[in-house]
Structure 1
Amino acid sequence: MIETKWLSAAERSTWVKFTAVLELLPAALDLQLSRDEALTHFEYFTLAMLSEAPNRVLRTSALAARTNATLPRLSRVVTHLESASLVKRSPCSEDRRATNVELTEAGWQKVVAAAPGHVAAVRRLVIDALTPTQVENLSEIFTVVLKQLDPDGRMLASDSEADGRR
């Protein structure tokens, strides 16, 4: 039998705080985007990732990687965004088995309208509360954790070149 290596008091305290952030931050981001733009954070993030793609088009699999989503979750969100005319799906010309997702002009306008409020919320809730050194440390910590969660580097966030893209 393997003996459990329990968390120390300091490790437990850190873990409890981290899980609180995991629960509270998405809800706070959803609240701002829902109130201001009738979007969830994941819907906004999906639109934003498309807005940064060449010609504002990505294969569904590439969009899933950029949004850190499973294909079923992404499909549900894309269906909702498509019903709002913010994106459109089309067959991929290079691979008949694949589907492309394209940001429509209405989707582009939605991202443009939503971005300032979202960035302000991210700054207010996270970035501005930290020193530049703490932001750098947090990035280093998340890089290590992402290597554990995504050892194959499938998610865009796991790509070290993604750092500093903006």
Structure 2
Amino acid sequence: MDTAWLSEQEREAWLGLIAVVELLPGVLETQLRRDSDLTHFEYFTLAMLSEAPDRTLRMTELAGRTNATLSRLSHVVNRLEQRGLVHRFPCPEDRRATNAQLTEVGWDKVVEAAPGHVSTVRESIFDAITAEQVGQVAQISAQILDRIDAEGIFYPRP
């Protein structure tokens, strides 16, 4: 089997992308822990619930939207539930399934955390690139996601 090695330009792009993928979570995590006493994954979980109808999702759907295993999500939702941010209950349409719902306290937490998180995202990403590059990042991300998330589970696309 012949290996199609990366060109120098592809290698440079790959190493830059990997650096962003590795460093950005720490930047987001640090800000959220400092300012809102949330991990990035906790915030992301709350944010996904905040955008859902009735602020409620089945745990399996929430796992897909957060790219988490049900086991990992269950542990995180348990911690959020202990803090009064999320409430779990049997799904009325399918008693075998469990729903997670953002509580009013959880909603308040998202509202409180969002401005700092958005500022960090803006400072870390969007302030560093042009408006044209924002469109390019969106297009490139969509093309990559078409390969690695073809079913649109993690990031549903139109």
TM-score range, shorter chain: over 0.9
Q: 1:25-44 counterparts in 2 under 5 A? A: 25-44=24-43
Partner of 2:101, secondary structure, is: strand
CA root-mean-square deviation: 1.1
* Percent of pairs with identical residues: 56
Q: How many residues align?
A: 158
**CA deviation vs aligned residue, 1:13-70 (integer Å, no higher than 9, x gap):** 1111111101100000000000001111111011011111111111111212222222
2:23 aligns with 24
Counterparts of 1:103 and 1:65, CA distance in 2: 17
Partner of 2:3, secondary structure, is: coil
1:51 aligns with 50
Counterparts of 1:130 and 1:40, CA distance in 2: 26
TM-score by length of 2: 0.95
Counterparts of 1:133 and 1:26, CA distance in 2: 24
**Displacement, 1:152?**
2.2
**2:157 is the alignment partner of 1:160:** yes
Aligned amino acid, residue 134 of structure 1:
Q
Gap regions ≥5 residues in structure 2: none
Q: 1:11-160 counterparts in 2 under 5 A? A: 11-155=10-154, 157=155, 159-160=156-157
Gap regions ≥5 residues in structure 1: 162-166
**CA deviation vs aligned residue, 1:68-105 (integer Å, no higher than 9, x gap):** 22222211211111111110110001001110001111
Aligned amino acid, residue 88 of structure 2:
R
